[in-house]
Structure 1
């Protein structure tokens, strides 16, 4: 399956990890994951264990779609229906 099988290709993964290693990162790098589903997938597949020790993944606030309460969205829709109002 396109865009799924590529992520399970061991040769490709080793090449990408080698390229990361070749960057010679000599300080701590922090990358924030925004979407909780992405965070779960990253950890499910063991990606953090493959990365250099100085490359840290930090869980972010969550996907705006997932963390926004329904009543907040309903209110935004009500405002959007008002004349001369842009949300």
Structure 2
């Protein structure tokens, strides 16, 4: 029998999750750096929330605002970035 490995659901201090809320209210567990480059540790961190939404925060400001996106919004952004739609941000 295979065992299923699940990650713990982050304990959220504030029951109402909203865009721009202080990231510290989402707790310190469960944040991941999907990628990291040669930018001196200035990275984007992501957390998958229990309801399927995704929270993003700046790694250098973990107590700053969290931006909350639906799974569909994040999928559209990633697919668009892979297709080159966001290349204008690089220049």
Q: TM-score range by the shorter chain?
A: under 0.3
Relative contact order, higher structure (CA 8 A, sep 6+): 1
Structure having the higher Rg? 1
TM-score, structure 1 as length reference: 0.26
Q: Which has the higher helix share?
A: 1
